[in-house]
Structure 1
Amino acid sequence: MRMIDFFDRGARMAHDRLCMIEGNTSRTYSEVQRRSNAIARGLIADGFAPGAHAAVLSGNSMTAFEAILGVLRADGVWVMANNRASVSENAYLLDLLDVDTLFVHSDLADRVETFRRDCPNIRRYVAIDRPIDGADVWLGDLVIEGDATIPQRRSGASEELGFLANTGGTTGRSKGVMLSNGNWQALVSSLVASMPMKTPPVNLVAAPMTHAAGPLALASMALGGTVVVLPAFDAGAVLQAIERHRVTYMFLPPTAVYMLLAHPDVRSADLSSLEYISYAGAPMSLDRLKEAIEVLGPVMNASFGQTEAPMCVTAMPPHEHLNAAGELAHPGSCGRANLLSIVEIMDDAGNILPPGERGEIVVRGPLVMQGYYKNPEATAEVSTFGWHHTGDIGLRDEGGWFYVVDRKKDMIISGGFNVYPAEVEQALMADPQVQDCAVIGVPDEKWGEAVVAVVEPKAGCTIDVAALLAATREALGPVKTPKAIEVMDQLPRSNAGKVLRAELRKQRWAAAGRTI
């Protein structure tokens, strides 16, 4: 099955149901299907070849989703482009991933000149929301209406390339990730297995559609679900949308969950329609997780994945979060291996480790990517011993529950001891004054690396550094307790909302004239 076949399944089930809502505009499945057909006809007439690559550079937008569906219906390869990345990073990726056609929103019109200079392979620029300078054509003029069925122009085989994502560049230059029709099938199947829906979902897209929220919204269309699109995350707007549209499902990174919990209306809002809030992308504070279950309801759904094995390597559904006593049943766990994933813990020599021992989380199964685009060396590096290496340190317990300890490259060696930042961050986040934090190692003549914490206070709060240090020492002991705590109004974050430890680390190591 092709990716577009999943959408068509939803359209057959729910042709008169609302497919997408944005503001006061809504469209049924029949309308969206017709629009995607018209976009596909326009692309084909314009010379878009079977298997050609097309990117959609836009913020959250119903029209952007329709452009993606049009590309897939024309049997093209969808390239996930990030509107929040810098113009230079976008130019690098669009050129690396051999983009033939670029759909671009008017908010990003000023980038087209750079792309024309640095991306010679882009054949056609299509403005998606209105005519703009620099674009070859506006989407409204590209579409070709009609009733004839769009012919299938590729085989639709499982191994056929379906979409190209990128690694985000938080640990080095971004790489293109090749994801096939089979990977998409595994993703949708794993989602449905881990989060069975009582009714067709109403999926709120509040996180960037350029990351997990976009594919998850497309996956929900296979179930005939309704996708509600917000332009960006805003806690108040999220609460209003849940009430107005009776939202059942949404994806949020932990930082967005924290902001939702901090909103003054969260405890009075009617959130009874919610069935699942998926959280992933970074470890969640256990104290905030308990608060989320108390305030938002028993709806929290943990998962672990990465671009190379998207979103569903492991899962812990809401009913497995709490034990009979109402306490967290598996504190800090990201769940057990999902239906279509084989997950293990491996040491550097390729040995599978027993329960309780820390090592790298490795994965096999149909969820794992086909490889890095035009980068066989990097593909081979992450595929040693016949497993995909995630770069995350973790462990599993006797019951098969997995726990992510930290990124392999983020580990701090202080005085000969291994210190995992995520463990220290969990202790710091127990303080109710702390909104978010990052723990890094900095050069130190005595310790080699000293553990330093950078904390972001909640709005209107003042951090008592001495008290926070004392509480952390009591929880973790002296080795893991930060040697210093710095307060920062706002931590640096990636386009996906992840705190950038690497940025904080780089600043402090550069001042010491060292990188290691």
Structure 2
Amino acid sequence: MRSIDYFDRGHDLDPGRTALIDAASGAELSFAEVKALTERIAVAMYAAGFENQQPVALYGPNSATIMVALLAIWRANGKWVPVNTRNAIEANAAYLNYVRCGWLFYHSSFAEDVAALRAKVPLLTRFICLDRAMGDDPALDDFIAGAPAQPLPDFSDPFGKPDDVVGLFPTGGTTGPSKGVVVTNLGWGTMLETLGEAVGGRTDDPVSLVVAPLTHAAGPVALGTMALGATQVILPGFDADAVLRTIPAYRITHLYLPPTALYGLLASPELGRQDVSSLRIFILVGSPVSPEKLRQAVQAFGPCLCQAYGQVESPMITTWLSPEIVAAAAAGDHPERLASCGRPTRSVQVGIMDDAGNLLPAGERGEIVVRGSLVSREYFELPEATAEARLFGWHHTGDVAYRAPDGYLFIVDRKKDMVVTGGFNVFTAEVEAAVTELAEVRECAVIGIPHEKWGEAVHAIVVADGIGADAIVTHAKARLGGVKAPKSVAFVDEIPRTAAGKMDKRALRADYWRGDRLVN
């Protein structure tokens, strides 16, 4: 099925049920109202010159309107281009140019950023402001009002258009712009069906809390629960106290957060004051979770904690660690499973492979490789990168793990030196390139080091003369944005190297890692 068909599946369960609640404004929309609104927006897009399968970007904070705009993109059969507002403008402009994005829905609070993107992305010519008119850019309400009243074409077929593209999702860049992952209806639908199987059927009144950015991973999670008929309660951003007060206020049953946010909840004084017993599913995705913190979370929130592992190319739910397994492990039944990312879901084959293409038996460490309809089609217009990622007939994740005899996977390293900080992927080569732009810096090696809040923090090890840590961090923030910039800098006389002359990051990590697991 197409992406929008999953929303319509939820709509058909009960059109009058509340679909969206904007906690900041108090606005509420039913499934029927959202469906009608997305149809009107899609008609207006075509009246304004939109073409089937054009890329469309969203830029703004969490709100019900952002969610409606995202659904409208899929209603129009557009390709969603996620844009992280925390990235540097240069990085976002490079990606929008690369995927040839021509449409942008944005919130007026980001008008300055949008003005910069307008100047840097020549093909970006259609701008709609979600909340009010901005110069020549119409407000969404005015954009809709000026459109003719006419039905949308039927963009589907008897098979649900499996090859049409849902989105062009950016990976973390290395030495250049991010690669665009081409996600089709087939892979997207597989993810949503798998997610629905994992989290559905636990309540007759599902209410999902949206806290993480809708323009990032939270958008797909919201759609997955909307397919089950879940009401979405949307907060503008993460605040631990606000989240804990919202759970009892709306009887939240489903919640998705990165582990860093979980740590914030555990530290909040509101935790002991608020009734969180309505929770049935609390999904953790995006970075390693401290087993001890996971155990504490089960004690605090009950048997609802679960974990999923995936990446953009094999999204979100490649493996699954269910609430039942987590709760049992927290109680002492196979406690080692608190450090696992779970077992493969029914949507994929998952193997552990060595560099020669051999699949390895249980207990041996190698790269996680994946096969199945969950896997994305390709990297946008990058056939060589696609071929490299599909070597030996499998998709290569770049994550190193081992499989226990009972099938549980344990991630132990990141083959491509990716740092996962606060749920966001940071590739070290990109940070190293930015830091070494400084004339005073001779060499730079970037690694991820354990961090109590963020899971991992970006750490730069630098050989330099006449420059301080603050100047390096400031430069990196300007070039890359706050997520990718180093959180700490260490100065050394020389960087250790392997026999082949490469930087020895294993030796650099030795001071921060214990054995083969992150020390959180």
- The answer to whether residue 324 in structure 2 is matched with residue 319 in structure 1 is yes
Q: 1:121 to 1:351 in 2, by over 3 A?
A: same
Structure 2 portions without partners, runs of 5+: 420-446, 464-472, 497-501, 504-520
- What's 1:5 paired with? 5
Q: How does 1:403-482 map to 2 (within 5 A)?
A: 403-410=410-417, 425=450, 438=457
Q: 1:411 to 1:37 in 2, by over 3 A?
A: closer
- What's 1:228 paired with? 233
- What's 1:388 paired with? 395
Deviations 1:175-216 (A, max 9, x none): 111100011110111101222332242111111112221110
Q: Assess if the C-alpha contact under 8 Å between 1:68 and 1:78 holds in 2.
A: yes
What displacement does 1:120 show?
A: 1.4
- Counterpart CA distance in 1 for 2:309 and 2:455 is 20
Q: 1:38 to 1:393 in 2, by over 3 A?
A: same
Provide the secondary structure at the position in 2 that maps to 1:20: strand
Provide the secondary structure at the position in 2 that maps to 1:304: strand
What displacement does 1:148 show?
A: 4.8
Provide the secondary structure at the position in 2 that maps to 1:331: helix
- What's 2:38 paired with? 36
- What's 2:180 paired with? 176
Q: Assess if the C-alpha contact under 8 Å between 2:66 and 2:214 holds in 1.
A: no
Q: Find the partner of 2:263 among 250, 258, 261.
A: 258
- The answer to whether residue 298 in structure 2 is matched with residue 298 in structure 1 is no
Q: Assess if the C-alpha contact under 8 Å between 2:58 and 2:82 holds in 1.
A: yes
TM-score, normalised with respect to structure 1: 0.81
Bigger RCO (CA 8 Å, 6+ sep): 2
- What's 1:22 paired with? 22
Q: How does 1:178-327 map to 2 (within 5 A)?
A: 178-198=182-202, 199-323=204-328, 326-327=331-332
Q: Assess if the C-alpha contact under 8 Å between 2:349 and 2:372 holds in 1.
A: yes
Q: Find the partner of 1:49 among 29, 48, 51.
A: 51
Deviations 1:401-424 (A, max 9, x none): 011112113399xxxxxxxx89x9
Q: Assess if the C-alpha contact under 8 Å between 1:322 and 1:329 holds in 2.
A: no
- Counterpart CA distance in 2 for 1:359 and 1:301 is 25
CA RMSD of aligned residues (A): 2.9
Amino acid at match of 1:12: D
Q: Find the partner of 1:503 among 480, 486, 509.
A: 486
- Counterpart CA distance in 1 for 2:366 and 2:174 is 21
Q: Assess if the C-alpha contact under 8 Å between 2:457 and 2:486 holds in 1.
A: no
Q: Assess if the C-alpha contact under 8 Å between 2:212 and 2:218 holds in 1.
A: yes
- The answer to whether residue 351 in structure 2 is matched with residue 344 in structure 1 is yes
- Counterpart CA distance in 2 for 1:8 and 1:264 is 40
Q: Assess if the C-alpha contact under 8 Å between 1:191 and 1:312 holds in 2.
A: yes
Amino acid at match of 2:22: E
Provide the secondary structure at the position in 1 that maps to 2:102: strand
Residue identity over aligned pairs, in percent, reads: 40
Q: 1:352 to 1:377 in 2, by over 3 A?
A: same
- Counterpart CA distance in 2 for 1:294 and 1:247 is 18
What displacement does 1:325 show?
A: 8.4
- Counterpart CA distance in 1 for 2:85 and 2:461 is 32
Provide the secondary structure at the position in 1 that maps to 2:34: helix
What displacement does 1:123 show?
A: 2.6
- Counterpart CA distance in 1 for 2:330 and 2:103 is 56
- Counterpart CA distance in 1 for 2:414 and 2:72 is 37
- Counterpart CA distance in 1 for 2:189 and 2:323 is 24
- What's 1:104 paired with? 106
- Counterpart CA distance in 2 for 1:113 and 1:358 is 48
Q: Assess if the C-alpha contact under 8 Å between 1:362 and 1:388 holds in 2.
A: yes
What displacement does 1:173 show?
A: 3.4
- Counterpart CA distance in 1 for 2:208 and 2:493 is 46
- What's 1:474 paired with? none
Q: Assess if the C-alpha contact under 8 Å between 2:171 and 2:178 holds in 1.
A: yes
- Counterpart CA distance in 2 for 1:368 and 1:496 is 29
What displacement does 1:271 show?
A: 0.4
What displacement does 1:284 show?
A: 0.5
Amino acid at match of 2:275: D
What displacement does 1:513 show?
A: 7.5
- Counterpart CA distance in 2 for 1:300 and 1:5 is 29
Q: Assess if the C-alpha contact under 8 Å between 1:280 and 1:302 holds in 2.
A: yes
- Counterpart CA distance in 1 for 2:263 and 2:481 is 15
Structure 1 portions without partners, runs of 5+: 413-420, 445-487
Provide the secondary structure at the position in 2 that maps to 1:330: helix
- The answer to whether residue 376 in structure 2 is matched with residue 369 in structure 1 is yes
- What's 1:162 paired with? 166
Provide the secondary structure at the position in 1 that maps to 2:117: helix
- The answer to whether residue 125 in structure 2 is matched with residue 94 in structure 1 is no
Provide the secondary structure at the position in 2 that maps to 1:137: coil
TM-score, normalised with respect to structure 2: 0.80
- Counterpart CA distance in 1 for 2:330 and 2:206 is 30
- What's 2:87 paired with? 85
Q: 1:401 to 1:111 in 2, by over 3 A?
A: same
- What's 2:386 paired with? 379
